[in-house]
Structure 1
């Protein structure tokens, strides 16, 4: 049993295309400050992981205390950057 498929017919436009108003500026979800905070948070998280790799001493205070706090602070700043409302002008 062979099935025959019919190609869907394309609708012809009548020349009246929906006109997009090009006069209104595009509204982005995030503001410039949001992106700035997000980039800073990525840098802080990266710095925290570099601190974690550190020296050969496994039980150093930098590796087990300071570096995880720095990483968590970077993630917290990232969440703030996402949740921050853009400034209204």
Structure 2
């Protein structure tokens, strides 16, 4: 029997993405979450009453644009090369 002085289960902690990638991914997720938060609401307590606030600029234009921008940031974060300086 030979004795090894190395630890039994030492894992190699090489992550696929770097710190910069994860930072940009977090920013993208925050933009997506903000878009969905802006899209929420606009309902009515009484189902027989129509609330025209559901068709305002914030819910129809701004919120979906933020969600698409967030997905674009996520794609950029995935394609970003962390080793490039």
TM-score using structure 1 length? 0.66
> Which 5+ residue runs of structure 1 have no aligned equivalent?
1-13
Q: Of 4, 7, 14, which aligns to 1:27?
A: 14
Of structures 1 and 2, the larger Rg is shown by 1
Per the alignment, residue 46 of structure 1 pairs with 33
Query: Which structure has greater helix proportion?
Result: 2
Q: With a CA cutoff of 8 Å and minimum separation of 6, indicate the structure with the bigger relative contact order.
A: 2
| Separation (CA, whole Å) in 2 of partners of 1:30 and 1:75 | 17
Runs of 4+ in 1 over 3 A off after TM superposition: 14-17
Number of aligned residue pairs: 71
TM-score using structure 2 length? 0.69
Matched, 1:64 2:60: yes
> Which 5+ residue runs of structure 2 have no aligned equivalent?
44-52
